[in-house]
Amino acid sequence: MCLYSVSDFDYTLPAELIAQHPLPERSAARLLDGSGAEPLDRLVRDLPGLLRAGDVLVCNDTRVVRARLFGQKASGGVLELLVERVLPDGSVAAHMRASRKPRAGSVLEMEGGFTAQVLGRWPDAEGALFHLRFSGDAYELMQAHGHVPLPPYIERADEADDAARYQTVFARHPGAVAAPTASLHFDEPLLAAIEARGVQRAFITLHVGAGTFQPIKGERIEEHVMHSERYEVPPETQQAIAQAKEQGGRIVAVGTTCVRALESWAASGAASGDTALFITPGYSFRCVDALLTNFHLPRSTLLMLVSAFAGMERVRALYAHAVQQRYRFFSYGDAMWLTRAAQG
């Protein structure tokens, strides 16, 4: 049982600090260094100086798909889909916004001239998602007719620039409906500087779902049902981590998605699958030693994860400093550098 309540992870954030657009240069974002006794204000391009030869920098190479689609029901009522995942048989599981939800068997007319047949709910008859089959390849239709699924706190429609900027420079495997945002800060010059430092790069894949923005209802953390996301830790990453651990190098996770994938693998031994790992204060970390992360929503599971990693009081103080110093928050915002707190 967690000793904290959801309100312990609340903080006041002025709305104007929520970044609505990315900076012109990825690595020009600010970096709050929370690894020492006092917070230090740096830039993301200073990251190589915080790394050591022999460290392994683990990044998430998922690729964001154009998962937001618009259409209408046979009655003419408008609807919006947010595809959560493409299933092995090519059908999709999706969130739906509509005045009245369509029944199984209904055919939806989607913008772009394709259709979506409602098969039912997913993952079962009581599921929150809709199970749909498009009249063509799901990935191809999303790429051609979908919109970049910007988070709900970015209060604008997606623009042409978002197609590139809400995507990492090393994105490879399509499947995410939200970006692994700490990775958005990396550009080729920064990656080259990290490599010159003697730091090895490795990758995991975790397809970030819309559940990452799901608020926790109520005050009891232990009653929250964590959303599930697909992940894979490939053999070459496992090998790099084992070698670094043997030689005294640190495992540096770029973002909370990497933490969830690595800790899920370390805890279960499963290198791939679905993870619903819910990390809260008191969790014993098995793999990750340092973390680059963006700032997270109040009362969110991601803020709980970061607090578990670096310590409640430290994270509270760092967030207060970030608000006072006018850091930019959330997906297109600034970043924070943390090292793991001592574990009892």
pLDDT of residue 125: 87
- Tokens linked to 313: 């009081």
List, by residue range, all CATH 2.40.10.240 domains of the chain: 68-145
pLDDT digits (tens, 9 = 90+) for 178-237: 999 999 999 999 999 999 999 999 999 999 998 877 778 888 888 888 889 999 999 999
The mean predicted confidence, pLDDT, of the chain is 95
304 half-sphere exposure, CB direction, 13 A CA radius: 26
List, by residue range, all CATH 3.40.1780.10 domains of the chain: 6-64+162-339
* CATH homologous superfamily, domain 6-64+162-339: QueA-like (3.40.1780.10)
CA distance 335 to 344: 27
Q: Write phi, then psi, for 96 (nearest 5 degrees).
A: -135, 135
pLDDT digits (tens, 9 = 90+) for 58-77: 999 999 999 999 999 988 99
CA distance 168 to 190: 13
Taking alpha carbons only, the member of 141, 140, 133, 84 closest to residue 108 is 133
What order do you get walking across the sheet with 56-60 strand by strand? Answer: 40-43, 30-33, 335-339, 290-294, 251-254, 56-60, 200-206, 229-232, 272-275
Helix 301-310 × helix 256-268 angle, to 10°: 70
CA distance 48 to 62: 23
pLDDT digits (tens, 9 = 90+) for 167-187: 999 999 999 999 999 999 999
Q: Determine the 3-state secondary structure of 6 from DSSP.
A: helix
pTM score, two decimals?
Answer: 0.95
* CATH homologous superfamily, domain 68-145: QueA-like (2.40.10.240)
